[in-house]
């Protein structure tokens, strides 16, 4: 078979709606090492490559994200085991201890992601951060005062700033648009299972309360922090680099891995040399990014329930052990729903309906705990809220990496900016969770955030559809406006479009 005339479009996605020679554009990107292979052989190579990436990268990233979330959220569990009494903390001081982590966590994400876009060993960089935050988390057990707790939490936030935006960007360097959604879902599924079994694990660790004169909450930090250090050290030996320089791939596999990404947006990591600062400025000046930052701010405000979920369940008047056990089922359900949402997004190439559906469901669930004290009804809302309030974030991160693809430094900056600036809502939202059992301030505010989120994402949808109409018009003046908005000439030649909305 002559591969110069027939290349499977799933492997060379250009999704042009015009009458250009799509196959010729795709083939022009085909590396020399792949030109001797037939279409079927390239399909087989692609499947083996994706399977290999999934087998190595996804388990490592998922395990590290579980550790990341457990080490960030274990303060909520420690609250149930005497932390506040031992440190003489008030409810407002505990809220400050929760929010202070984000003071370090948020601003350091931006320089970290700009750095990870340029260093040759992103896997080693991420694993070193894991080891550092694990050590800091373990040291939390030694704090004696509220002031010491604040200091440790602030430093922990700086160390953890590397991981999440870095992991999202790292995955976008390996996976295509039809693959990325499910891999982002895998991260969030890992997060939810971390939340679920983190509570069960905490309940088990608390049985050590008093052993060797160490309180249960101190054991929690010691055990979980030490585990993070050990696992992070092991993962550092297996975490791959970027596709273009990965030692786990053969030369043919490296060429295919790079071409898969280039054929979608015209460039891949290591193959584009635009300065980091220039990419950062392009990201800041893009109105699409500004809208996505606002969307994520409103979405992460809704997701703040994760910081207080044990407290919300505790308001149902169960004892500490039952409370921690009851936090597990909602997170397990969320993990299952996340996979379905992103499978649907990938296969149907859609995002907007998923976001709107989650917003509508979450608004209904916010009303229930404010309207009734019935335990069954309130726990039902808590079963639904973890996936309904956080679900939109999955498709938002997928949107960032596909809609703001070029240059690669812009994509790195965009991932960090959306997470960092959007994450500021975790700071002020921490002060909403008071006055149990109905938490009017918290649920009322989150319902308002959900409504505004729906409005802003609808404006974003209108904006990208307008850009697509300009690209489809064939009018050079209209296309020039799209280029000014961040689409490159190379992307236009590939027939690139804003998708999913």
Structure confidence at residue 17 (pLDDT): 37
pLDDT at 28 over 80: no
Q: What average pLDDT does the segment 85-107 reach?
A: 86
**pLDDT at site 405:** 66
- pLDDT, residue 139, reads 93
DSSP annotation string for 64-124:
HHHHHHHHHHHHHHHHTTTHHHHTT--HHHHHHHHHHHHHHHTTTHHHHHHHHTT-S-HHH
pLDDT at 13 over 60: no
Mean pLDDT, residues 425-447: 86
Q: Give CA–CA dist 308/161, Å, rounded.
A: 21
Task: Please tell me the predicted confidence (pLDDT) of residue 275.
Answer: 63
| Banded pLDDT at 49 (limits 50, 70, 90) | very high
pLDDT digits (tens, 9 = 90+) for 271-327: 556 666 676 777 777 888 889 999 999 998 998 887 677 778 888 888 777 877 787
Q: How far, in Å, are 38, 319, 347, 360 from residue 180 at the CA level?
A: 26, 41, 11, 25
Domain boundaries, the chain: 38-493
- Write out pLDDT tens, residues 335-386: 889 889 988 998 888 999 999 999 999 999 999 999 998 988 999 998 999 8
For residue 272, the model assigns a pLDDT of: 56
Residue pair 309/195 in contact (Cβ under 8 Å)? The answer is yes
Q: Tokens 């030649």 correspond to what residue?
A: 493
Phi, psi of 2 (to 5 degrees): -85, 105
- Does the predicted model carry a pTM greater than 0.85? no
Please answer whether residues 143 and 152 qualify as being in contact, where contact means their C-beta atoms are separated by less than 8 angstroms: yes
- Residues with Cβ within 8 Å of residue 59, at least 6 apart in sequence: none
How far apart are alpha carbons 303 and 278 in whole angstroms? 32
CB 78 within 8 A of CB 63: no
**Mean pLDDT within 122-145:** 92
Q: What's the CATH fold of domain 38-493?
A: Growth Hormone; Chain: A; (1.20.1250)
* pLDDT given for residue 269 in this prediction: 52
Q: Which residue has the higher pLDDT, 64 or 202?
A: 64
Q: Which of 173-187, 264-278, 459-473 has the highest mean pLDDT?
A: 459-473
* Surface-to-core class of residue 485, CB atoms within 10 Å of its CB (0-12 exposed, 13-18 middle, 19+ buried): middle
């Amino acid at each position: 078979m002559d591969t110069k005339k027939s290349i499977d479009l799933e492997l060379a996605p250009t999704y042009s709606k015009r009458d250009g020679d799509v196959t010729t554009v795709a083939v022009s990107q085909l590396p020399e090492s792949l030109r001797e292979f037939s279409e079927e052989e390239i399909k087989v190579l692609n499947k083996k490559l994706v399977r290999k990436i999934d087998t190595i990268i996804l388990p490592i990233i998922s395990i590290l994200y579980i550790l990341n979330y457990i080490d960030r959220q274990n303060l909520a569990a420690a609250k149930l085991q005497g932390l506040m009494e031992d440190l003489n903390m008030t409810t407002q001081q505990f809220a400050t201890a929760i929010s202070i982590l984000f003071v370090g966590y948020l601003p350091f994400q931006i320089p970290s992601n700009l750095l990870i876009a340029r260093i040759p060993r992103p896997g080693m960089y991420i694993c070193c951060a894991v080891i550092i935050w694990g050590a800091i988390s373990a040291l939390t057990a030694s704090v004696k005062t509220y002031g010491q707790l604040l200091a440790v939490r602030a430093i922990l936030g700086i160390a953890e700033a590397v991981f999440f935006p870095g992991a999202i960007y790292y995955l976008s360097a390996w996976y295509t648009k039809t693959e990325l959604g499910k891999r982002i879902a895998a991260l969030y599924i890992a997060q939810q299972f971390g939340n679920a079994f983190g509570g069960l694990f905490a309940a088990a660790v608390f049985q050590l309360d008093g052993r060797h004169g160490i309180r249960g909450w101190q054991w929690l930090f010691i055990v979980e922090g030490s585990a993070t250090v050990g696992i992070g050290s092991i993962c550092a030996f297996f975490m791959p680099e970027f596709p273009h320089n990965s030692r786990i791939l053969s030369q043919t596999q490296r060429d295919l891995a790079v071409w898969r990404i280039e054929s979608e947006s015209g460039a891949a990591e290591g193959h584009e040399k635009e300065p980091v600062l220039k990419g950062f400025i392009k990201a800041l000046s893009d109105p699409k990014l500004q809208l996505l930052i606002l969307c994520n701010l409103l979405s992460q405000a809704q997701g703040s329930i994760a910081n207080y979920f044990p407290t919300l369940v505790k308001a149902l008047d169960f004892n500490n052990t039952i409370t921690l056990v009851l936090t597990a089922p909602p997170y397990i359900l969320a993990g299952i729903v996340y996979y379905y949402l992103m499978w649907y997004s990938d296969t149907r190439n859609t995002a907007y309906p998923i976001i709107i559906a989650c917003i509508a469901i979450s608004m209904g669930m916010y009303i229930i705990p404010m309207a009734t004290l019935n335990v069954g009804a309130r726990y039902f809302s808590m079963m639904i809220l973890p996936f309904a309030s956080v679900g939109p974030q999955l498709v938002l991160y997928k949107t960032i990496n596909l809609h703001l693809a070029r240059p690669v430094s812009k994509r790195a900056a965009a991932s960090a900016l959306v997470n960092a600036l959007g994450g500021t809502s975790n700071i002020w939202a921490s002060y909403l969770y008071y006055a149990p059992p109905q938490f009017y301030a918290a649920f009322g505010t989150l319902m308002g955030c959900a409504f505004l989120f729906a409005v802003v994402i609808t404006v974003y949808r209108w904006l990208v559809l307008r850009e697509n109409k300009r690209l489809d018009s064939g009018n050079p003046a209209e296309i020039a406006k799209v280029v000014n908005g961040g689409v490159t000439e190379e992307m236009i030649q590939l027939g690139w479009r804003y998708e999913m909305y």
